[in-house]
Chain A
Amino acid sequence: MEVFGGLLYGLQVTMDPTNLAFCFLGVFFGTLVGVLPGLGPAAAIALLLPATYKLPALPAIIMLAGIFYGAMYGGSTTSILVNIPGEASSVVTALDGYQMALAGRAGAALGISAVGSFIAGTFSIIILSVTAPALARIALMFGPPEFFSIIFVGLIVVTYLARGSLVKALIMALLGLFLSQVGMDIVSGRYRFTFGMLTLSDGIDMVPMVMGLFGISEILLNLERETKKEIVVTEFKDLFPTWVEWKRSIGAILRGTFVGFILGLLPGGGTIIASFVSYGIEKRVSKHPEKFGTGMIEGVAGPESANNAATGGCFVPLLSLGIPSNAMMALFFAALLIHGIQPTPFLISEKPDLFWGVICSMYIGNVMLLVLNLPLIPLWVQVLRVPYRILFPLIFLFCLAGAYTVNNSISDILIMIFFGVFGYMLRKMEYEPAPLIMAFVLGRLMEKEFRRSLAISNGSFSIFFDRPIAAVFIIAALILLFSSFMFYYRHYGKKSESLLDRE
């Protein structure tokens, strides 16, 4: 089967010492980032994007991917031990995981978490290796309207799922679209919104912007107050769940894998929603739902498996269609572009070394993580003890040097600082940056497909509805949008609380 051939080829490519080294670096750094609260995988990937410039594409993507799924492993460690989720998709793990730790079962929670993550990660990669090539073949029949509609629906779903007000999230997405229009218009050659500034003539550089919005603004948020947290770490002896706990968890792990992969794959989905949904499912299928929150191991096994399975699922649309399904994948999309690779359905056939190499590196990375995670837990605990006032200058240093090296230009640093402050203000005023980033990264592509579609149809919008696949996506997105607005206005008369919070 084509898949086998591909996997063997990929293994061969991955076994190169450089690629292995970068895989290790990625998963190690990813776990570290997952452990440290306040620095999520998105920020870390944004920070390391410039560092990968001089590297060839394959090790760069391998390392960045390693950071991504590595962070899923690392985040659970602190959720369980210290009740501080290292990153968003480990929030649910803390609910029952920490309770288990308090009851002396931290080791079991950590063990189940690691094994579940490994099983889910491996399964999702297997499914990825099969579905992506198949989907790519289907996508060869896609035209501009289909691509536009997929991007459109992904953007709408990400916006819909953003925390807080839908109106604000939509404004963020539109702002992102606008920012993507700054620079030279490829079709006409005219400069848009550059105000004569040379720096802007190529458009706003993605990397400083992302580093500012995710990295700098995050630090600024953390700097608001002096944190004198005393990290109290629960003790644990062994890392093995009991046989009973294993039996209970297997179902959760399998369910989590399934749910996680699908939610990673769907436009707008991702690791965070996967973990939340998995928790909800475990609670529903459990014979003792009321016990959730007191230390149910299914509440750890399910979400931890789901978030790792989602990492595999996330890559499917990107590698097969060339369209990122969520904000995190938008960063990978950007990374591919930076390395001169156009993500399209032809990616798999034109660059098999990249595709199969990345997939195999994910298998190997998961193995490394399983081996790494558990023995290194004392190290991670020590890392947690480093005070933030020593950490944040180092993160700044990384950002500043990184931003400079993008183009050897100070204006990139200034752009980064600008977006850092801007991002900070946005978050303070309850605006989510995720739709902005996704819209910004996808803006040019979306515009291209849109204009092409109109050119084909001679200006008629019906082209988006005549073609079945495009129609389905666009109608789904519009239904989602309108139903949300209807929901608002039904409440307008009844509730007098602010409509802007949907929570």
Chain B
Amino acid sequence: MRKSDLITGLIWLILSALIIVNAFELELGGLSAPGPGMLPMLTSVPMGLLSLLLISEAIFAGRNKQVAKTIWQRDIRWRRMVSIVFSLIVYALLLEKLGYLLCTFLLMTFLFKGDKSQKWLKSCILSVVSVLISYAVFASLLRCQLPEGILENVLGGIVR
């Protein structure tokens, strides 16, 4: 039994059921004047059928001991990956509060620092360089608006 296929199959099945319910609420309309719910319906019904197919194949096809590729292998660096994703989310949430320069600097230092391989100083330097270059490229060259924060105000004050 391929567990991952079974789980994902169930997820798609539930999703398609939810969409169908919603589609009715949105009004299907007639075939000659399709309403907003028509296409969600036409999308979710095949999805539901296919997910049933997937589930049944997940249950019945793996009978013989096929070398089940364990997707979640032991040597994957889970902690590192989760911490990185977490740091990205925190970055997003703090970006407008701390401003681009400071927030990005903190994130980059964290990312460059890595597990244990890099030294603090080297990470900081790389971080400063990349933040400044990116700021120059995005803010000046491409004229994008990046959130202003503590450092921008400080530096802005100095520059002015």
Contact = CB atoms under 8 A, between A and B. Distances in A.
A247 interface: no
B13 to A, nearest CB: 10
Contacts of A457: 32
Contact of A405 (B26, B76, B84, B144): B144
**Secondary structure type dominating chain A contacts:** helix
Contacts of A429: 4-5, 8, 71
A396 B146 contact: no
29 contacts: A51-B142, A54-B142, A167-B54, A174-B47, A178-B44, A181-B39, A181-B40, A190-B27, A192-B36, A220-B85, A225-B75, A225-B77, A390-B126, A397-B104, A400-B104, A400-B107, A401-B144, A401-B146, A410-B95, A417-B89, A429-B8, A447-B39, A450-B34, A451-B34, A454-B32, A460-B31, A461-B31, A498-B57, A500-B54
Interface string B3-41: 011001000100100010010001100111111101110
B contact residues, range: 35 or more
Interface string B65-100: 010000110011100110011001101110110001
Contacts, number: 180
B12 A450 contact: no
A392 interface: yes
Given A413-B95, A454-B34, A500-B57, A226 B5 contact: no
Given A168-B54, A170-B46, A405-B142, 7 more contacts: A167-B50, A174-B44, A181-B40, A393-B111, A401-B100, A404-B147, A413-B91
Contacts of A251: none
Contacts of B142: 51, 53-55, 405
Contacts of A190: 26-27, 36
Contact of B32 (A50, A55, A220, A458): A458
**Secondary structure type dominating chain B contacts:** helix
Given A224-B81, A497-B66, A414 B89 contact: yes
Contacts of B89: 414, 417
A contact residues, range: 35 or more
Interface in A400-430: 400-401, 404-405, 408, 410, 413-414, 417, 420-421, 428-430
B61 A499 contact: yes
Given A54-B142, A454-B32, A393 B92 contact: no
A459 interface: yes
A167 B77 CA distance: 30
Contact of B111 (A168, A193, A392, A420): A392
Contacts of A168: 54
A220 B84 CA distance: 9
A212 B130 CA distance: 21
A496 B63 CA distance: 7
A188 interface: yes
Given A178-B40, A447-B39, A192 B146 contact: no
A185 interface: yes
A187 interface: yes
A479 interface: no
A175 to B, nearest CB: 7
B92 A500 contact: no
A498 B67 CA distance: 10
A496 B64 contact: yes
